[in-house]
Structure 1
Amino acid sequence: MRIWIFLIAFFSFSALAEEDIDCDKAWTTLEINQCMYKELVGAEKVLDKYLVKSLERYLEDDVSLASIKKVKKLGSIIEKSTAARFMTHGATGLSEQR
């Protein structure tokens, strides 16, 4: 039974994801999330462009190349841990006070 609910929900959200949304008028959580995702994808493309240019520029400098790759890897780790923390926060409904 659970698998059917999951499949129905998955395909429903997939169908909604295909809609063209006016992000200036996004109102629901789903619409806002889709708009934020589009913005994220655009930002990642820009960052990837700069990463490629940086790697090309410092091709002969092993120390700089290693540093760029290390920072990229650390950035990915931070991004994943932040997403996991956000998902845990959203799932539990608890706020963290630090």
Structure 2
Amino acid sequence: MKDLKLQLIQRGAPSVYACEGGKTKKFLFSYIPERDAIVLNKKHKSYEHYKDLLLIYLQFNDSQKKEFLPMPRSMGMTFFDSINKVLRMRKKVLRT
């Protein structure tokens, strides 16, 4: 984990970091439970776009997320579905 060279983008729950992504440019993000951190890959071709969208999305309440989700889904985007899985996993862990 030390060699990831994380750069803090936003503090919070979860925190959002950027990293260089190692040798691969393909993965967009990962989640590090120990840090409660979503880590975006700066080498991904759409990094800036997804970073901006993620920071906005994390501010939405549940009803805003529900209203927002049909639009990216209609475009074939699964990013927010994956983010929602992370957020649900976090809630379960925090409850225990």
TM-score, scaled relative to structure 2: 0.28
Q: Which has the larger radius of gyration?
A: 1
**Structure with the largest fraction of strand:** 2
**Structure with the largest fraction of helix:** 1
Q: Which has the higher contact order (CA 8 A, sep 6+)?
A: 2
